[in-house]
Amino acid sequence: MYAVPGVRRAERTRRRWCALPPATATVSPTATPPFALVPTAALSSANHGVAHGWKGNIIRRMGADSDLGMALERLYETFSRYPLPDKIDVCDHCVAPESVQAARAVPLRALSASALEPYAWNALSTWGDIEDFKYYLPRLLELLISEELDGFLHADSLTIKVGAYWHGWPQDEKDAMVAVVNAWWWLTLHHYPRDVDVMMMIEIIAENLKLDLCDYLAEWESNAGNEAAALHMAWLVEDFRVQSGHGADWYVLLENWIDGSAPARILEDALSSPSSSQVEQDLLHALERHKRWSQRPE
């Protein structure tokens, strides 16, 4: 059974405000190198045929079909100019010494999500400077995209920090970041559900990083017939109206796009061969809801 639209965001909101940063972290003795990860979730019978959100091995599986693997390699290579410093400024009252040790104990690509989570909570505030952040950034993004690091808790805050600095970075660093975001968006459209849902991805792209949302919506339209992309659309159609609207240009653009014909095309194309009766029901319900929107008086 798919997550009920709206419920998933509410549950994650509860987790976001109830969860506390861990005081300590340990290095996994079996930290797995990138692109050789194993699945920790399988397709359920109810989701048979749908590109479901696998954790861990997602990067390995998608590497041949998208640019994600190459984009991450490029990011690691580009940011390799920032070595792990001999000493990092840390607030002793905010960060446990063992957490600092765990984040420095093994090579960057071998760091586990549990070892990096304390840094994710404290980066650029009570732990380190921008060069330290750039050292850890490729691994943080890899762990977010592979859903080993909790995306709902960390994706927004980490990309806000990137957005606050990255427009002043060297061009090759900006290009490497954009390549990863583009591949992350492609991955999102081809797998449902995702830890970082489609609305959060839109907020990361348009609000946090100030990228042109038009390009990403066009990519979504080009994936008409892709069931995962349609299920993301069904979720968004159900969930969008409970979002906190604001006057940002990108939000107005998104609202107008959702009110237009593209969402209906995406939903209708996927209805030609739904993988299950539940998928068909979800898509039909979203299509009917969208139809009511398009007929409402201005």
Q: Of 125, 147, 180, at which residue does a domain stop?
A: 180
pLDDT at residue 297 in the model: 59
CB 268 within 8 A of CB 229: no
**Is residue 7 situated within a structural domain?**
yes
**Is residue 148 situated within a structural domain?**
yes
**Is residue 38 situated within a structural domain?**
no
> Do 248 and 210 share a structural domain?
yes
What's the structural domain count of the chain? Answer: 2
- Residue 240's domain spans which residues? 1-17+191-298
> Do 102 and 202 share a structural domain?
no
Q: What burial letters (b/e) apply to 250-283, b meaning 16+ CB within 10 Å? A: bbeebeebbeeebbbebbebbeeebbbeebeebb
**Is residue 117 situated within a structural domain?**
yes
> Do 195 and 259 share a structural domain?
yes
> Do 112 and 139 share a structural domain?
yes
**Is residue 25 situated within a structural domain?**
no
- Position of tokens 């400024």? 89
**Is residue 46 situated within a structural domain?**
no
CB 122 within 8 A of CB 21: yes
Q: Where are the alpha helices (DSSP H) in the chain?
A: 7-18, 58-62, 68-79, 97-102, 113-122, 130-145, 151-165, 171-190, 198-202, 213-222, 227-239, 249-259, 262-270, 277-294
> Do 226 and 171 share a structural domain?
no
Averages of pLDDT over runs of 10 residues in the chain (298 residues) are 40 39 33 30 32 42 62 97 92 94 97 97 96 97 97 96 95 96 96 95 96 96 94 91 69 91 96 96 95 71
> Do 130 and 68 share a structural domain?
yes
pLDDT at residue 170 in the model: 98
Q: Name 194's Cβ contacts closer than 8 Å, sequence gap at least 6.
A: 53, 147, 151, 187, 188, 201, 232
> Do 149 and 260 share a structural domain?
no
